[in-house]
Each structure stands twice: as structure tokens, then as C-alpha cells.
Structure 1
Amino acid sequence: MKFYKGNRNWSDDYAFCRRTGMVMTSRGDFPFYEFDAYIEMRVGTQGSQFHSFKVIHRYPHRSPDPLTKNPLEFSFSVDGSIAQRYAAWDMLQRYMDVSQPLPDVPELEPFRHLDPTTKAYDEAGKRGRPATYWRDLYANSSEGELKMLREAQRAEVDSTTWGGRPDLMELSVPNYRETRKGEPEDVNDFGRFPWKAGKFVDRPEATPSGESPDHQQNDKYPR
């Protein structure tokens, strides 16, 4: 482990730190609000489309790769539709927003009591679930039941209207709103057929998350 940690050519360690609001990388530490998310589409030799969810540093001159000079960016493995990638970015933003409790997902359940905001939220009874909700669900459900719940969760994400949601990045980045005002109303349709612009919707002006009506929505189903 010591060898791999010390060998920068072999390791690619990074961390999104909720407590500090920083993204730790081998090229230095950078504020989370300096990163933008985008979906990259590639087309295969047979015309098949492949989409990747990526997060890139907005100021590449401050974080270039020492050898290739490429900008600092991260790729996330997300299965399914374009909407699933929007959901992944939404969850990462919620994770980094200390004014909100941690996303209510199985991976984070064992650590909810360690986060002050989440602990206060749960102790106030706002979570509305037992402390071991996800652990008990997995322990007491069959594979068939879990499969049905996952399919229902994916269907719910796919049917969610992702266009027209406020972008909290504009609260931290000067002039951010002037260049990022709209989103396609149907992100799945736009992802498959980008030449068909369809209907775009303007984002409402962002407010601090504590004032947002979309403050916290518990996930109903396993991911």
C-alpha cells in the first residue's frame, strides 16, 4: 500500500471533501465550486452512442497535468440514461453542500451520525427512517425484490424533470448565470438526438439551499 500511495505514476488519488469544500488531487487542492459537470457523447463505429459523466476544473491553467498539460477532470461510471447522469451530479452537489444532510443512500448510512448537519437532521426526526433503514432493507429483501425496487428507482429518475432546476454554482461563481441559463426540458431525448433542440427551459434564480423548496428528498429505492 505504501508503494502504491507513493508512486504517482501508478496512483490517482483524489477526494471530494464535504467538511472543507475542497477537491483533493495529486495536482493540488481546489474548491468544489471551481468544477463544472458535463456529459460527453461518443459515437461508435456502428453508430451507437456512448455517454460519460465527467467533472472538469474550470481553470485548466491552474491545474494542468505536468506531462500532458491536460486539464484536471474526473470520469464517473454511471449506468443507464442521460437522466441517471444528471442524478449523479445532483447527488455529488448535495454531498458537498454542508447546509443539507447527506444524501440518503446506502453507502453513506453508516456515517450519517458523523456529519453535524446530518446528525441534527436525523435527531430532529426529519429523516423519517430508522438509523439502519438501508442495512435492514438489504438484509430482509430477496434479490428479486431488490431488482424490482432498483427498476422502480431508475424509472423515477428517468421521469424526473431535470431541466429548469436552479444551479447553486451561480452563488459562488461571478457571471456564471449569464452563460448557463437553460437546460433541455427532456434531457434523455436531447442526449439521444442533440440535433433536435426541442424545448429549452430557463433556470430559476438560485437561492441558498437552506431556502430552497428542494431542500431534501429521501430516495425511496436502492441504487
Structure 2
Amino acid sequence: SFVIKHFPNLWIKPSRGPIWELNRRTGLVTVFDYKNNGEYKKNGTIGELTAPFYEFDAYIATSPDSQGMPLNVLYLAHRYRNIMINFGALLCPGPDFQPPCALWDFIQNYMNVSRPLPDLPQYEEYRHL
């Protein structure tokens, strides 16, 4: 179309940045707030909501797709504040409970500093740290 061809910046926009962060060293979970009462649009200030990992609970939310099949998504929700992380973009929603449970197990193993890093080839160069 005319707009896509001649004005691509109206159609395609770069990502703002990360949405959330799980920091193994500090044990903190950070959710980045780009709304931040309009501060991000005014001067680029990103709000941060930070809390310890042990204060978060995992939930599997089930919702139907267009044919009525269940789709399970893993959520991480803070117990005391309105902080929630949707892992639907990291793990595709599906009818099985095993993948969200496996992701939750992986996240718990990753955040536990008393245990080694989970077995993934990407972590091999950091295993000695």
C-alpha cells in the first residue's frame, strides 16, 4: 500500500527494549514500565518495577482458542503488588500443561544460585562463574 511503501516509519517501529528481566546474581525480577505516566514519550525515562524472585508465584492460565481448544500460558505474578509477567511470547500457548510446567521448572533452576546453571549449550561458557 501507499503508506507502507512511502512512510515505513508509521508501519514498522523498532522495539522499545526489554519487557522484563530475571537477574540470577541479585535474585530480582524487574518489569520495565514504558508507560510510566508518559515519561518515556517525553524524555525516554523507563520505569522499573523490581521485586525479589521468591515473592512471585507461577500460574497457568487456560483460555480457549477460536475452535474452543484450551491454550495454556505461564504467568508469573507478584504476591503483594500488581506485577505480572506473561510468558506467552517466550513459550507458544498450547493445549498441553507440560511445556509451561517445564518452563517454570527451568526458571526456578535458573534463579537458584545454590545450584548450577540449567543444562543448555548457551550457558556452558558461563558455567565456571
Q: How does the TM-score come out when normalised to structure 2?
A: 0.65
Q: Are 1:43 and 2:56 counterparts?
A: no
Q: Give the SS at the match of 1:84.
A: helix
Aligned-pair distance for 1:87?
Answer: 1.1
Query: What is the aligned-residue RMSD (CA, Å)?
Result: 2.0
Q: Give the SS at the match of 1:101.
A: coil
* 1:33-69 per-position Cα deviation (integer Å, ceiling 9, x unaligned): 1111011101123211111111111112xxxxxxxxx
Aligned-pair distance for 1:98?
Answer: 0.9
1:44/1:14 Cα in 2 relative to 1: closer, same or farther (>3 Å)?
closer
Question: Match of 2:51?
Answer: 30
Q: Are 1:18 and 2:24 counterparts?
A: yes
Letter in 2 for 1:78: L
Q: Give the SS at the match of 1:113.
A: coil
- Looking at structure 2, the residues matched to 40 and 110 of structure 1 have their Cα atoms a distance apart, in angstroms, of 35
Q: Which runs of 4+ in 1 moved over 6 A?
A: none
Q: What are structure 2's unaligned runs of at least 5 residues?
A: 1-14, 33-47
- Larger radius of gyration, structure 1 or 2? 1
Q: Give yes or no for contact 2:49–2:83 (8 Å, CA) kept in 1.
A: no
Question: Match of 1:190?
Answer: none
Question: Match of 2:84?
Answer: 73
Question: Match of 1:102?
Answer: 117
Aligned ranges for residues 134-153 of structure 1 at < 5 Å? none
- Looking at structure 2, the residues matched to 30 and 50 of structure 1 have their Cα atoms a distance apart, in angstroms, of 28
Letter in 2 for 1:32: F
1:12/1:72 Cα in 2 relative to 1: closer, same or farther (>3 Å)?
farther
Aligned-pair distance for 1:78?
Answer: 2.3
Which structure: greater helix fraction? 1
From 59, 64, 80, the equivalent of 2:80 is 59
Q: Percent identity?
A: 40
* Equivalent pairs, count: 96
